[in-house]
Structures are given as structure tokens and as C-alpha cells.
Amino acid sequence: EAGVAQSPRYKIIEKRQSVAFWCNPISGHATLYWYQQILGQGPKLLIQFQNNGVVDDSQLPKDRFSAERLKGVDSTLKIQPAKLEDSAVYLCASSPSQDRADGYTFGSGTRLTVV
Amino acid sequence: GDSVTQMEGPVTLSEEAFLTINCTYTATGYPSLFWYVQYPGEGLQLLLKATKADDKGSNKGFEATYRKETTSFHLEKGSVQVSDSAVYFCALGSGYSTLTFGKGTMLLVSP
């Protein structure tokens, strides 16, 4: 089966600019996650979708980050305006359900550098 | 809240050496436990998992046993290869909450 697709792979922007990332999960996977992975740390959840509804966005910095999952398939994550501390790898993952025993399938990530 | 603690890296080994990466956890209830591996420039890949106490997860020569009494899920491999060089993440999931990851342990294997 095709994996989780993410684009772009790399992005360099100046602070205060905006940027958007795109994710296409595995077909049929109802649950989609966006994680932020800062260099040397484990992934930190930003937002979780179940179909096209938000389940958990408690750790999303809503003053600058937004995400949507239209039609319950693809998702986009946006940062506006970007700060230097947003430099990280943004990982998208999907799973068949909310049952944690399924584990997640991750995409290759988008590496964002804010200068 | 839930948390995962992994041994700090990097772990540096010669090829064919025995590997142990320690992982302990704190969680409410009965979580599922996972090991993920991240190769350079790639996303995380599920390596193995265990969903209840005393279960042993295994894959590609790696093993980990869910020890409820010591709240541990240590990763082991009898003979590492250069191609095993990567960052390894321990994670847990309780009920319907999202996965909580450790900080990761880098493994470097030299020929």
C-alpha cells in the first residue's frame, strides 16, 4: 500500500513569512496527526483529526498555526507568521482508528528552516 | 500524565555487538508500548509493539518485552549491523490518547 505522502521535503523561509505543508494519509485511515520534531527531541503532537473533525489541538499554538482536513482525507498545516523557534521537522502520521494499539504510519516529514 | 524516559545516546557499538536501549514509562491504565526507528532524513517507522503485560514484540532481530512490574520496555538485539544505525524512539499509547514519545536514542554502529 502507498505510504503517507508529505510535501515539500524541505522549506527555508525568513521569519514572519508564512508556510504551508501538505499531507496525504494512507487510503482509508480515518485518523491523521501532525507532529513537530525539534532537533534532538521526540515528536510532539500538534493536532489530531478524526475524519475531518479535530479531536485534540491542545498543543497547537493557535495564534500562528492552523490546520485543516477537508473531506476527511488530505490535510494542510500552516504557520503564519513563522518564528525562528518553528525550525523543525513536521511529521504527518495516520492510523486506521483512534485505537493506540494500531500504531501510526509516518510520512518522511517536511524539514522547515526559519532564518 | 503519561511520560517515557529513554537512555541518553549516542550508543556506539561495533558490528555484531549486543544492543540494549533502556526505556521506562509512566502511564495510567494499561498502555500499548512501541519502538519506532528513524533513519537519517526519513520519518519514523514502527519497529515493534506490545499491547499487554508480558507480551514480546519482535521484528528484524529486535525484541522488547512489556514488563509491567518494572514499567519497562527495553529494546534488544543480539548482533547489530552497520545498517541499524539510526535513532530509536520508545512510545506509549493509553486508551484513545495520542502516542507519547521519548526523546530518542541514537545508535551508531561501526564496521
Mean pLDDT of chain B: 93
Q: What is the structure's pLDDT at B8? A: 86
Question: Is B96 within 8 Å of chain A by CB?
Answer: yes
Task: Return the minimum-mean-pLDDT range out of A13-27, A36-50, A66-80, A93-107.
Answer: A93-107
Question: Is B40 within 8 Å of chain A by CB?
Answer: no
Q: What is the structure's pLDDT at B2? A: 86
CA A12/CA B82 separation, integer angstroms? 32
Determine how many CB atoms are found less than 10 A away from the CB of residue B71.
Answer: 16
Whether B106 and B39 have beta carbons less than 8 Å apart is answered as no
Pick B1 or B10 by higher pLDDT.
B10
Report the pLDDT averaged over residues A25-41. Answer: 92
Question: Is B98 within 8 Å of chain A by CB?
Answer: yes
For A63-96, write each residue's pLDDT tens digit: 999 999 988 899 999 999 999 999 999 999 998 8
CA B92/CA B66 separation, integer angstroms? 11
First vs last Cα of chain A: how many Å apart?
37
Residues of A with CB under 8 A from a CB of B: 4, 6, 33, 40-45, 48, 56, 91, 93, 98-101, 103-109
For B30-83, write each residue's pLDDT tens digit: 899 999 999 988 889 999 999 999 999 999 999 999 999 999 999 999 999 999
Q: What is the structure's pLDDT at A70? A: 82
Report the pLDDT averaged over residues A30-46. Answer: 92
Candidates A100, A103, A109; nearest CB to B94: A100
Report the pLDDT averaged over residues A50-68. Answer: 93
Q: What is the structure's pLDDT at A9? A: 95
CA A23/CA A5 separation, integer angstroms? 6
Contacts of A61 (CB under 8 A, 6+ apart): none
Report the pLDDT averaged over residues B87-106. Answer: 88
Strand order in the sheet with B56-59: B19-21, B75-77, B62-65, B56-59
Short-list B63, B103, B111, B64, CA closest to B85:
B111
Report the pLDDT averaged over residues B12-29. Answer: 94
Q: Is the predicted pLDDT of residue A100 greater than 80, yes or no?
A: no
DSSP string, chain A: ----EEE-SEEEE-TT--EEEEEE--TT--EEEEEEE-TTS--EEEEEEETTEEEE-TTS-TTTEEEE-GGGS-EEEEESS--GGG-EEEEEEEESSS-GGG--EE---EEEEE-
